[in-house]
Amino acid sequence: MPASSTRTSTPPGAPALPTQGEINAEMSRIGGDPGPGAASAMQPRLDYPPYRSSLRRHPSRALVAVDPGVVERSGPVFGDRDVDPLDADLTIAHRGEPIGERIVIAGRVLDSWGRPVPGQLVEVWQANAAGRYVHRRDQHPAPLDPNFTGTGRCLTGPDGSYRFVTIKPGPYPWRNHQNAWRPAHVHFSLFGTRFTERLVTQMYFPGDPLFELDPIFRSITDPAVATRLVARYDHDLTVSEWATGYRWDVVLDGRRVGP
């Protein structure tokens, strides 16, 4: 799903959107500040002002303690019969071939001790090669691909591994500021052995020129940590004359939680 509506014009009577230069200046002033009360810069700032939606959506009250047992009993249940191995290939859901660069994304899901997390659900969703989501709120004037829906899922293997075949998504505009563009990315939802270990994040591609201009990417204020969101090209994962490969491992808990 898009981060926000992708219409780029300002409605009549609405305040003018800030320019990219003004957003850049805000991000430069914040620099590596993890935000008030934050333990570290390992996680995104929840109240990152250059990312305008975070000002309205970030938590502003103390967390509410709940019984973890109740959370576990009401969480989702899934198994081998619920997830078909073909669900991991986003290019075969329709009768024709989708348009774009075919890619393989693979990696391992681990815990904080480096142990594999097997049999757990990994879900992905993304825009198509033109940067368009199959979603009614996405009004980006780019073509929809009738052969690409952009969603997939799989269960991790005994060694914590996962693998998806898909199309490399395109960048797209969003209404955070004037001429705002999101870097190409794939959304991930990962479950661990407990519901409280669920992680929702985004995977990016190496060398994208939009990284420094994107407030969502920059909301992780430590650059060394932000680069963990970027997959690495893996030539051994690349399939000759068929698809390029990207590798991306994820840690679900502990101090190194995240990609």
Over the stretch 1-54, which tens digit does the pLDDT of each residue have?
555 444 445 555 667 899 999 999 999 999 888 877 665 667 888 889 999 988
Task: Please give the pLDDT value at position 207.
Answer: 96
**More confident position, 85 or 2:** 85
Q: Mean of the per-residue pLDDT values for the chain?
A: 87
Q: Choose the catalytic residue: 52, 153, 187, 228.
A: 187
Active site (annotated) includes residue 172:
yes
* DSSP assignment letter at 243: B
Catalytic status, residue 94: no
Give mean pLDDT, residues 204-219: 96
Q: Tokens at residue 143, please? A: 């073509």
What's the token pair of residue 63?
């967390």
Cα gap 221→32, rounded to integer Å: 5
**How far, in Å, CA of 170 to CA of 172, rounded?**
7
235 is catalytic: no
Residues in the chain: 259
Output the pLDDT for position 133: 96
Pairing mode, if any, of strands 185-190 and 121-126? antiparallel
Q: Strand, helix or coil at 85?
A: helix
pLDDT beyond 80 at 244:
yes
Of 111-115, 216-220, 236-240, the least confident: 111-115
Is 80 exceeded by the pLDDT of residue 77?
A: no
Catalytic-labelled residue, pool 153, 177, 185, 218: 185
pLDDT score of 225 more than 80:
yes
* Per-residue pLDDT, 192: 75
List 51, 172, 204, 246, catalytic entry? 172
Q: Give the count of beta carbons closer than 10 Å to the beta carbon of residue 242.
A: 9
Which two tokens mark 123? 């879900």
Which one from 48, 51, 133, 204 is the annotated catalytic residue?
133
Name the pTM for this structure.
Answer: 0.87
Domains defined for the chain, CATH in brackets: 18-24+41-251 (2.60.130.10)
**Span 137-167, pLDDT tens digits:** 888 999 999 999 999 999 999 999 999 999 9
Give Dmax (Cα) for the chain. Answer: 57
187 included as an active-site residue: yes
Q: Compare 255 and 99 and report the one with higher pLDDT.
A: 99
Catalytic residue among 182, 218, 228, 246: 182
Do 23 and 155 form a contact (C-beta atoms < 8 A)?
no
